[in-house]
Structure 1
């Protein structure tokens, strides 16, 4: 992790990860990180809304989460999946049966994708909006094609302005995950290296993944720096808006290990990883202000 987090991130991770023990390792597999255990968290905001809209990318779609399924495995989505991943939709319905969760996730989506689809986004009339975007703004074909931080700031502001002008929902912004962690987990795995070499995905990070020379290390560090810059933007923009909350870096800071990453592409969350994301975002929703004392 390249920058210190606030007290919330540490407290949140301690709360949801307490009492678990990492699994034993094998030569090609890093031990699994402690998986968040079920909590008694009941976000008050869930009792006050009936319309939750999630803006996301391939992670929210459940891409490559299920080895036996098609590429998009909706049943394993942290947002709208089934009880096996204890998704947001499952958790919210258990607390408030009137809640509907609508996912507007798109494969490969950047923050600009939501702006290009703004009429549809606003047309969903969210009472609570969860925005989990930004990974593809750093996961680009090259370093030069990553989104610039100031452009990211402008686009995020436009999106939040549009939401506020419609239903002025409460907004939870999920910070961008630690992309370099994916390389750290897989670069010693021969199969992962072969998969990464055969796909055009995220070349800014995964090109020449076996290379540990100075130039390759600098390129991967530049991707991490851009992720950190995006997360600083998310925190700054959100802090200036009274109806905006971040996850405090909880998803970024979780050390996803091999069992929590897809065995298909060694990049997206597996079903176990999706379950972790669902738990972390559910816990973060407890920070969203509500009218309930």
Structure 2
């Protein structure tokens, strides 16, 4: 075969510049920094999650990884009922020595209080509320109130009972812990058997020694306590620093603590349909401005609002999603 003649190198043509003149380049500073509508969502499988929820999603994943379980809040029932004493009747919250149920922390209709009823009605406008509490009631009256709630077919029941069992004419007339437990169990049994699907919220008895602490320096409070014989087991001799009076106040407070422990125990035994407030009401550092200026004992409208806020924050509907430990 012959040898091919050498190829002549082909001169490279200088390519014609297709670049835009400098004056027509899109400046870097004009690049689009705001994401498009399609880019504002994060898609995971078939779920489209708004970018604004990314932080919440991350936090939820972290809780799940740590052993937490996220469950949906229960639907709001058609009826609710409140059981208790003068606190739940909002006694002295709107007038001189009268019940003011419209201002009740549980079933009140006054917007200033923002009760459980109003918060839940925002989710179910058909919700009906019954206030079955009675001013002056003690734990001995709770079972009768529970029976009334059963007859009303309540799907949600709040319970706040025990202040009158500790706030008596003297330390010796307080309800015993054993009697309190027997009667509280009986009422809870009535609710469980009569309303097996109802949700029950139990609020702790307030710390009545706190009332003594914030009111003892007020001449008006001391006068009201003495004139009307209010809670003498705790509030007698309010300015005394004698050891005997200090010990008495501590024993009365301990009785309230024991009542709350009974509630926590029985509620836990009741099961998932009962929720205790974890002593939120008992532990709240209320001020004298939260009680009625007529008796310096019962919560006023402001105090009822505090009760509503503190208890609802521990309720079944505190958030749309409730994180629970497995």
Tell me the TM-score range normalised by the shorter chain.
Answer: 0.7 to 0.9
Contact kept, 8 Å, 2:85 with 2:160, in 1: the verdict is yes
Under a length normalisation based on structure 1, what TM-score does the superposition of the two structures give? Answer: 0.79
In the alignment, is residue 267 of structure 1 matched against residue 297 of structure 2? yes
Q: State how far apart, in whole Å, the 1-side matches of 2:194 and 2:102 are.
A: 30
Contact kept, 8 Å, 1:172 with 1:288, in 2: the verdict is no
Q: How many residues are matched? A: 249
Q: State how far apart, in whole Å, the 2-side matches of 1:258 and 1:274 are.
A: 13
Question: More relative contact order in 1 or in 2 (CA 8 Å, sep 6+)?
Answer: 1
For residues 81-116 of structure 1, the C-alpha deviation after alignment (integer angstroms, 9 at most, x for no partner) is: 311211222211112112112111101111111224
Q: 1:193 to 1:70 in 2, by over 3 A?
A: closer
- State the partner residue of 2:177: 149
Contact kept, 8 Å, 1:57 with 1:108, in 2: the verdict is yes
Deviates more, 1:209-218 or 1:221-230: 209-218
Contact kept, 8 Å, 1:56 with 1:109, in 2: the verdict is yes
Larger Rg: 2
Q: Identify the match of residue 75 of structure 1 among 91, 95, 102.
A: 102
Q: State how far apart, in whole Å, the 2-side matches of 1:274 and 1:191 are.
A: 21
- State the partner residue of 1:61: 89
Larger relative strand fraction: 2
Q: State how far apart, in whole Å, the 1-side matches of 2:294 and 2:265 are.
A: 36
Residue 174 of structure 1: how far off its partner (Å): 0.7
Q: State how far apart, in whole Å, the 1-side matches of 2:109 and 2:296 are.
A: 20
- State the partner residue of 2:34: none
Q: Identify the match of residue 280 of structure 1 among 302, 307, 310.
A: 310
For residues 120-177 of structure 1, the C-alpha deviation after alignment (integer angstroms, 9 at most, x for no partner) is: 2431222111111111111111111111111111111111111111121221111111
In the alignment, is residue 132 of structure 1 matched against residue 160 of structure 2? yes
Contact kept, 8 Å, 2:133 with 2:145, in 1: the verdict is no
Contact kept, 8 Å, 1:48 with 1:290, in 2: the verdict is no
Q: Identify the match of residue 260 of structure 2 among 222, 228, 231.
A: 231
Determine helix, strand or coil for the equivalent of 2:267: helix
Contact kept, 8 Å, 2:180 with 2:259, in 1: the verdict is yes
